[in-house]
Amino acid sequence: MRQTDVWGDTGLDEQPGWLKVSVPFLLCGIFLAAVGLFLPTEQWLLLFGMMVAYIVPPLGRETIIPASILLGIPWWLIAFTLAFLDFAGGLFMAWNFPLVLRIPYVGPWIRQFVAAGRTYLDRRPWLERLYFVGLIIFVSIPFDGSGSIVGSIVGRMLGMTKAEVLACITIGGVIGSFAIALGVDYIANLIPAEAGLWVSLVVFLLIGAALFVMYRSYSRRREANA
């Protein structure tokens, strides 16, 4: 098992610096302030709401991006916003992993997750050769649990450095968000303008239902294999 970096969970008595805790949140605040310079107030509030919805489970980019585009947020802006949130989340995990391990219920689950993952990967060393590209694909594919938080844990299981994990999360977030946004924007442009909001909503609901059925089918197969 490749171990190229220690993320600090061995020194749990050392309190993470407040700068490391606050910088990701400060970056999000700066981003919101910058966007507010050119967005109308209504769209700014809508974008802020979508950011909160993306952070709080269970909604992911496959839900947030279509809804945002349908409500008038430019496709490139919502794609960049979610990719930026993935970066901020990865940065927080890279700098504050010991702090996350102290959170009740979350910390013990992460420890068990990492221990089981290391055992699994030790028995399959060939998987380590795909670690960088594999983590990018994992983060970019829109399914439950594929965001920056779980991506950081998976990267730690693979023995990746903080910089490698953050790079994978950033690249995967950009690929995943912009791919979905471009696809949704293309479909939206195929719908005639005179069709109205309700027709667009029905089309997106049908697409969302199809994606949900595909995801449930994938989840059942994964649970059966497990």
Say what the pLDDT of residue 94 is.
87
The residue-averaged pLDDT of 108-114 equals 78
What pLDDT, on the 0 to 100 scale, is given for residue 174? 94
Best mean pLDDT range from 68-82, 127-141, 187-201, 207-221: 68-82
Residue 102 lies in a domain: yes
Local confidence band at 2 (pLDDT 50, 70, 90 cut-offs): low
What pLDDT score was predicted for residue 199?
55
Q: What is the pLDDT of residue 13?
A: 43
Residue recorded with tokens 């490749």: 2
User: Phi then psi for 124, rounded to 5 degrees?
Assistant: -135, 70
The candidate with the shortest Cα–Cα distance to 155, out of 22, 36, 7, is: 7
The residue-averaged pLDDT of 117-129 equals: 67
Res 75: pLDDT:
92
Please indicate, yes or no, whether the overall pTM of this predicted structure exceeds 0.75: yes
Q: Total structural domains in the chain?
A: 1
Does 131 map to a domain? yes
Angle between helices 61-70 and 41-55 (to 10 degrees): 170
Q: Does residue 220 belong to any structural domain of this protein? A: no
On average, the pLDDT of the chain sits at: 78
Q: CA-to-CA distance for 62 and 218, rounded, in angstroms?
A: 16
Q: What are the pLDDT digits (tens) for 28-85? A: 999 999 999 999 999 999 999 999 999 877 778 888 898 898 888 999 999 999 999 9
Domain assignment present for residue 71? The answer is yes
Stronger pLDDT, 200 or 74, i.e. the higher one: 74
The answer as to whether 217 is a domain residue is: no
Whether 185 is in a domain gets the answer yes
For 125-163, what is each residue's pLDDT tens digit? Answer: 666 677 788 888 888 887 655 578 888 888 887 878 889
Range of the domain at 125: 18-190
